[in-house]
């Protein structure tokens, strides 16, 4: 069975983590100074590297070369060559215990952790407990975890990961070092996907690769999984193929649709919407993408300096087109359009006639 791309290309060094430069620098410095903590909390969007970083901490703590070679330890990275590093990479280490709190959320499971954490590591220097989706734990389970989290044995480290930080009790968050994992910019995801495509000899057009990167919505894992899926479809993947397989339109179509709207061309907008619908694209996703695009148009109109912010999401050509539309847009009308499309998007999600709220929105605002 072929290994999934997101697993095959999982970072093995902190420096390979994409889009989390601040977290990487802090953790590398802590490793250099032998000041890695006893409890961590990683939170943020899915597919941004939380569990991967937890495993890297486990490797840093147990890397045999780091403990034996002070010069190498100053790099703040694991060696990936010793038995401990290889064991963690292959998920065969007895001293790295991963727990899915979504399916092991009760007080009994936490009591088991409290019992097992007391025993010494089997073949490593530290035992590392990685609790994924920690927000799913029950109230009594959180209470049972408190004391262990505050004062774990000297040989143990607890790393928690969650996509829903706000659901965690303050008593838990205050006992751990907290790291926010941000959504990844589209340009960073495209760079990583381009490297994977080259290594795997996947023939994919740049526009199609951009669509795959955008479809991940800030999650590198989602984009890698999508690339893995469409790579087996045919030898060469163009934009049309990527749009058909993802059900999502490329940015060029969103740009053109937005252009009709900004120019108040009702006939052109309705015709273009009908064409997109006939091609079988996901209209709910189209509405979402259009809202995001119009929001960028409005932002550039109100503050031209926002161009620097959008450079991580758009290419230079796309920014040029965005600025051109922003010059043509009227502030009050664009605000009204965005509000109308948000309302249409809400209606579309639960309507069996997804195109109708969009058509009504266009008629109300462009008629």
Q: What is the mean pLDDT of residues 295-301?
A: 95
Distance CA 366, CA 262 (A): 9
Strand partners of residue 128: 96, 157
Q: What is the mean pLDDT of residues 211-215?
A: 89
**pLDDT band at residue 72 using 50, 70 and 90 as cut-offs:** very high
Helices 283-302 and 251-262, interaxial angle, to 10°? 60
Evaluate if residue 107 carries a pLDDT over 80.
Answer: yes
Instruction: State the pLDDT at residue 349.
Output: 85
Distance CA 345, CA 283 (A): 9
For the ranges 161-165, 228-232, 302-306, the lowest mean pLDDT is seen at 228-232
Instruction: State the pLDDT at residue 65.
Output: 95
**pLDDT band at residue 32 using 50, 70 and 90 as cut-offs:** very high
Give the helix/strand (H/E) hosting 323: helix 316-328
Instruction: State the pLDDT at residue 217.
Output: 86
Q: What is the mean pLDDT of residues 74-89?
A: 94
Q: Is the pTM of this model over 0.85?
A: no
Q: What is the mean pLDDT of residues 253-277?
A: 94
For 26, the token pair is 């802090």
* Fold (CATH) for 5-181: Rossmann fold (3.40.50)
Instruction: State the pLDDT at residue 240.
Output: 85
Q: What is the mean pLDDT of residues 59-64?
A: 96
* Fold (CATH) for 187-246: Helicase, Ruva Protein; domain 3 (1.10.8)
Please name the residue that has the structure tokens 């579309």.
348
Domain boundaries for CATH 3.40.50.300 within the chain: 5-181
Domain boundaries for CATH 1.20.272.10 within the chain: 251-366
- pLDDT tens digits along 327-345: 999 999 999 999 999 999 9
Strands 39-44 and 156-162: parallel
Q: What is the mean pLDDT of residues 31-38?
A: 93
Instruction: State the pLDDT at residue 129.
Output: 95
Q: Nearest to residue 41, comparing CAs of 54, 24, 58?
A: 54
Q: What is the mean pLDDT of residues 158-184?
A: 94
Q: CA dihedral in degrees (135, 136, 141, 142; nearest 10)?
A: 10
Domain boundaries for CATH 1.10.8.60 within the chain: 187-246
Distance CA 354, CA 360 (A): 11
**pLDDT band at residue 367 using 50, 70 and 90 as cut-offs:** low
Helices first, then strands: H and E counts in the chain: 20, 7
Residue 202 C-beta-side C-alpha neighbours within 13 Å: 24
* Alpha-carbon distance values, 135 to 22, 131, 165, 180, 345 (Å): 24, 10, 7, 15, 29
For the ranges 82-96, 244-258, 269-283, 352-366, the lowest mean pLDDT is seen at 244-258
Q: Are 181 and 156 in contact (CB under 8 A)?
A: no
DSSP, collapsed to helix, strand or coil, labels residue 190 as: helix
Q: Nearest to residue 238, comparing CAs of 257, 279, 246, 293?
A: 246
Q: Between 1.20.272.10, 3.30.70.141, 2.30.180.10, 3.30.9.10, what CATH number should domain 251-366 receive?
A: 1.20.272.10
Q: What is the mean pLDDT of residues 35-57?
A: 95
Mean pLDDT computed over every residue of the chain: 92
């Amino acid at each position: 069975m072929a290994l999934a791309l997101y697993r095959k290309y999982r970072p093995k060094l902190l420096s390979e983590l994409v889009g989390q430069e601040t977290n990487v620098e802090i953790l590398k410095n802590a490793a250099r100074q032998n000041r890695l903590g006893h409890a961590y909390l990683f939170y943020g969007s899915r597919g941004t590297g939380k569990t991967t970083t937890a495993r890297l901490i486990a490797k840093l703590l147990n890397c045999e070369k780091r403990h034996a070679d002070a010069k190498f330890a100053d790099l703040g990275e694991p060696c990936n060559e010793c038995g401990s590093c290889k064991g963690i990479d292959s998920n065969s280490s007895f001293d790295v215990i991963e727990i899915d709190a979504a399916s092991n959320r009760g007080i009994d499971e936490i009591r088991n952790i409290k019992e097992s954490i007391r025993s010494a590591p089997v073949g490593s220097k530290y035992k590392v407990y990685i609790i994924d989706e920690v927000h799913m734990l029950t109230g009594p389970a959180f209470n049972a975890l408190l004391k262990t989290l505050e004062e774990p044995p000297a040989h143990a480290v607890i790393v928690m990961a969650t996509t829903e930080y706000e659901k965690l009790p303050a008593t838990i968050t205050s006992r751990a070092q907290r790291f926010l994992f941000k959504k990844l910019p589209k340009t960073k995801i495209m760079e990583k996907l381009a490297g994977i495509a080259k290594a795997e000899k996947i023939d994919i057009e740049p526009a199609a690769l951009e669509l795959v990167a955008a479809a991940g919505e800030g999650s590198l894992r989602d984009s890698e999984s999508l690339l893995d899926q469409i790579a087996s479809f045919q030898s060469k993947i163009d934009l049309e193929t990527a749009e058909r397989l993802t059900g999502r339109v490329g940015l060029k179509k969103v740009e053109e649709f937005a252009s009709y709207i900004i120019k108040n061309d009702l006939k052109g907008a309705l015709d273009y919407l009908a064409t997109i619908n006939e091609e079988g694209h996901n209209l709910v996703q189209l509405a979402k993408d259009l809202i995001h695009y119009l929001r960028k148009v409005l932002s550039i109109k109100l503050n031209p300096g926002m161009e620097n912010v959008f450079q991580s999401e758009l290419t230079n050509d796309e920014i040029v087109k965005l600025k051109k539309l922003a010059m043509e847009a009227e502030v009050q009308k664009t605000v009204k359009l965005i509000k109308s499309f948000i309302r249409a998007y809400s209606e579309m999600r639960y309507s069996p006639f997804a195109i109708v709220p969009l058509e009504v929105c266009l008629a109300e605002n462009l008629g």
